[in-house]
């Protein structure tokens, strides 16, 4: 039999025959959905991109300015 | 100049990171420890072909799966936080942090996800040898992932193998081996992984004792206990030895952390180690004459020996580190004030360098680049307003250290006692030992978390030791946004943890499935 089909069948049968695994996969998928579709998008944007620091030069300038401004005079 | 950051933003950002990291650490050590115990049990099945071992390993594998499912990807939240809350830090550390994390991600994804599937779906479908190899490779994959995470963490404690580039404003790795195999990284990996093994052993022992308490699955419980006791005893002794190595490294590269762990304000040669004591709440300043520790029980000369392998080693206290002038391997230590001055020179040099580059003044740029390089080891001190900011939370470190070490000693005694009990079966039926065994499970978690508190809270105020304090590392966010996500995490983590405990208890109560022989 085709090895790719073997592997696919291995996974398909494995998932189909799960008992406890179904609950655990449901938890994993809900968790990943919360993390990537809610937390990442609405609560954890990339700070530099969010502040319009897109190019490498803009990021370098922003960080160096921040590091210099925050120093104790 | 000097746009200060709201201190509560620093506190909330730290609290959020600590919450996520400590939550993540509830799952990782059990994966490391239980994974290895499962691999040993499956090896017993492979060698003996006794179905008893197959049934045994399948039970523990089920609990491993629950822990894995709830814990998986919780570490990714830390990476979200790096990009949002710690953007200065993330940019500043550049590829030094990025490379180990990328390697970890690839390893975790390919090794763990591939072989975990074979481990659960492969019974009776792949050969016994391939299944056994998959179980071992899952465990090895998880351990190698831990290596890279701990390399990244060790670099924050002991930044080596890099050079700061003022053009990119990043630390650039110039010696991969120095980063990956620094003595701090190697020791941290060994100590941390061993602590995971201890937790895994305590988990298996505790649940086995529960079965004995309920007078169920006695053969399964005793066999699991024997493996857990041997494994736990070896791991806890090795963990203590690695802990000694950690103390040596801390004394060498983070003397302030060591001083906070010991509530040591004025150091001496022949310095004793406080075994027990109470931090004096009346001590207000690092240089007042109030004794820092009350009711102390001290092991004479021990701290000097731990730090320098010689009782004549001078161990600096908090006051010594702030005042400077004590002997080190590189001559007399600088005072905090001198370091702060050098730090400000370094930051000014960065500012002048960038101005000179913009203006095309090559000579001035080179002059300031040299000045920055010369003073860079003290760069972070330029952000401090007063020397007292260098002092970590002394009571937190003092007690967390004693909880970790005290429990470490307890685990050695516990596993030794369980091992003896396994060969004197009568002892195993004693309710006292059974309850002690069950209650040892939470103690193993507490010891692990206490260890991380010492490691991370002891490094404060630094995000990267001596180079970048938290006040410069965090993003300029609204405090309210960090507070919001903190409480979102509290709810999310609590729900997930309750789900895990509920599913775990249900499956433990069911016990191993099928006939044992």
Question: Which are the contacts of A30, defined by CB distance < 8 A and separation ≥ 6?
Answer: none
Specify the pLDDT at position B2. Answer: 54
* A contact set with B (CB within 8 A): 10-11, 13-15, 17, 20-21, 23-25, 27-28, 31-32, 34-35, 39-40, 43-48, 56, 59-60, 63-64, 66-73
SS (H, E, C) B5-55: CCHHHHHHHHHHHHHHHHHHHHHHHHHHHHHHHHHHHHHHHHHHCCHHHHH
Cβ of B471 and A70 within 8 Å? Answer: yes
Give the SS3 label for residue B465: coil
Lookup: tokens for B463 = 């995000």
CA distance B189 to chain A (A): 28
Show the tokens assigned to A11. 């996974």
- Option in A56, A63, A70 nearest B92 (CB): A63
Residue of B nearest to A19 (CA): B62
| Residue-level pLDDT at B177 | 92
**Interatomic CA distance for residues B247 and B245, integer angstroms:** 5
User: What residues of A are in contact with residue B169 (Cβ under 8 Å)?
Assistant: 60, 63-64, 67
Whether A10 sits inside 8 A of B340 (CB atoms) is no
Chain A interface mutation, best of B6, B91, B352, highest count of A Cβ atoms under 10 Å: B91
Q: Measured between alpha carbons, how far is B187 from B249 in angstroms, rounded to an integer?
A: 8
What is the rounded distance in angstroms from the CA atom of residue B160 to the CA atom of residue A12? Answer: 47
Burial of A29 (0-12, 13-18, 19+ CB in 10 A): exposed
- Model confidence, pTM: 0.93
Query: What per-residue confidence (pLDDT) applies to B175?
Result: 92
Give just the sign of the alpha carbon dihedral B257, B263, B265, B271: negative
Q: Are B382 and A71 in contact (CB under 8 A)?
A: yes
For chain B, positions 91-150, list CB contacts with chain A under 8 A.
91-92, 117, 120-122, 125
Going by their DSSP bridges, the two strands B293-299 and B327-328 should be labelled as unpaired
Whether A47 sits inside 8 A of B477 (CB atoms) is: yes
Contact between residue B200 and residue B230 where contact means Cβ atoms under 8 Å apart: no
Burial of residue B332 (number of CB atoms within 10 Å: 0-12, 13-18, 19+): exposed
* Residues in chain A within 8 Å Cβ distance of B69: 24-25, 27-28
Q: Are B470 and B383 in contact (CB under 8 A)?
A: no
Say if B63 is an interface residue toward chain A (CB within 8 Å): no
**Residue B478 per-residue DSSP state:** -
CA-CA distance, A72 to B1, in Å (whole number)?
8
pLDDT score, position A43 = 84
User: Is B83 an 8 Å CB contact of chain A?
Assistant: yes
Question: What's the pLDDT at B517?
Answer: 58
* Residue in chain A nearest B82 by alpha carbon: A46
- Token pair recorded at residue B237: 């002794």
Q: Which is nearest to B339 in space by CA: B378, B369, B285, B397?
A: B378
* pLDDT computed for residue B274 by the predictor: 96
Evaluate the omega torsion of the peptide bond into residue B461 and state whether it is cis, within 30 degrees of 0: yes
Residue indicated by tokens 């002038």: B325
According to the model, what pLDDT value does residue B168 have?
94
List the alpha helices (DSSP H) in B424-478: 425-428, 431-457, 470-473
Show which of residues 310-369 on chain B sit within 8 Å of chain A, judged by CB atoms.
340, 343-344, 347-348, 350-351, 354
Sign of CA dihedral B110, B113, B115, B121: negative
Q: Residues of chain B whose pLDDT is less than 70?
A: 1-4, 109, 515-517
Closest to B1 (Cβ–Cβ): which among A25, A45, A71?
A71
How far apart, in whole angstroms, are the C-alpha atoms of residue B416 and residue A43? 49
């Amino acid at each position: 039999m085709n090895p790719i089909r073997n592997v696919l069948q291995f996974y398909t049968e494995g998932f189909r025959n799960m008992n406890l695994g179904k609950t655990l996969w449901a938890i994993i998928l809900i968790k990943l959905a919360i993390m990537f579709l809610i937390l990442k998008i609405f609560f954890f944007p990339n700070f530099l991109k969010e502040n319009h620091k897109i190019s490498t030069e803009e990021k370098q300038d922003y960080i160096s300015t921040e590091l210099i401004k925050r120093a104790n005079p | 100049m000097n746009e200060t950051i709201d201190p509560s933003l620093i506190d909330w950002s730290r609290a959020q990171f600590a919450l996520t990291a400590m939550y993540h650490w509830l799952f990782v050590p059990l994966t490391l420890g239980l994974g290895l115990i499962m691999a040993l049990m499956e090896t017993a099945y492979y060698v003996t072909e006794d179905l008893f071992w197959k049934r045994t390993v399948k039970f523990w594998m089920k609990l491993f799966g629950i822990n894995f499912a709830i814990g998986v990807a919780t570490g990714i939240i830390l990476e979200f936080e790096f990009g949002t809350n710690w953007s200065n830090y993330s940019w500043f550390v550049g590829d030094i942090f990025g490379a180990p994390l990328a390697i970890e991600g690839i390893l975790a994804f390919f090794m763990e996800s591939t072989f975990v599937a074979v481990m659960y779906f492969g019974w009776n479908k792949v050969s016994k040898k391939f299944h056994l190899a998959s179980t071992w490779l899952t465990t090895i994959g998880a351990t190698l992932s831990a290596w890279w995470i701990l390399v990244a963490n060790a670099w924050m404690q002991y930044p080596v193998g890099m050079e700061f580039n003022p053009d990119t404003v990043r630390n650039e790795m110039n010696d991969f081996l120095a980063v990956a195999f620094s003595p701090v990284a190697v020791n941290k990996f060994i100590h941390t992984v061993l602590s995971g093994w201890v937790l895994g052993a305590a988990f298996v022992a505790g649940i086995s004792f529960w079965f004995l308490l309920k007078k169920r699955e006695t053969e399964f419980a005793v066999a699991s206990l024997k493996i857990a006791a041997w494994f736990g005893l070896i791991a806890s002794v090795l963990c203590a030895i690695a802990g000694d190595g950690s103390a040596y490294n801390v004394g060498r590269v983070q003397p302030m952390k060591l001083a906070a762990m010991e509530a040591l304000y004025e150091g001496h040669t022949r310095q004793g180690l406080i075994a027990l004591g109470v931090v004096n709440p009346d001590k207000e300043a690092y240089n007042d004459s109030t004794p820092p520790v009350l009711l102390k029980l001290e092991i004479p000369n021990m701290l000097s020996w731990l730090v320098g392998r010689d009782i004549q080693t001078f161990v600096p206290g908090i006051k010594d580190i702030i005042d400077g002038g004590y002997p080190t391997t590189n001559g007399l230590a600088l005072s905090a004030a001198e370091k702060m001055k050098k730090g400000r020179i370094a930051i000014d040099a960065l500012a002048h360098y960038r101005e000179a580059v913009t203006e095309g003044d090559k000579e001035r740029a080179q002059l300031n680049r040299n000045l920055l390089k010369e003073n860079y080891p003290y760069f972070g001190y330029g952000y401090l307003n007063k020397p007292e900011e260098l002092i970590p939370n002394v009571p937190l470190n003092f007690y967390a250290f004693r909880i970790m070490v005290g429990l470490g000693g307890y685990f050695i005694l516990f596993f030794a006692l369980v091992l003896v009990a396994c060969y004197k079966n009568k002892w195993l039926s004693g309710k006292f030992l059974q309850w002690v065994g069950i209650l040892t499970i939470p103690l193993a978690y507490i010891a692990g978390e206490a260890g991380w508190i010492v490691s991370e809270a002891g490094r404060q105020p630094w995000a990267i030791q001596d180079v970048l304090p938290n006040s410069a590392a965090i993003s300029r966010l609204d405090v309210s946004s960090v507070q919001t996500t903190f409480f979102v995490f509290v709810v999310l983590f609590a729900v997930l943890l309750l789900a895990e405990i509920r599913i775990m208890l249900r499956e433990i109560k069911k016990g191993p499935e099928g006939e044992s022989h």
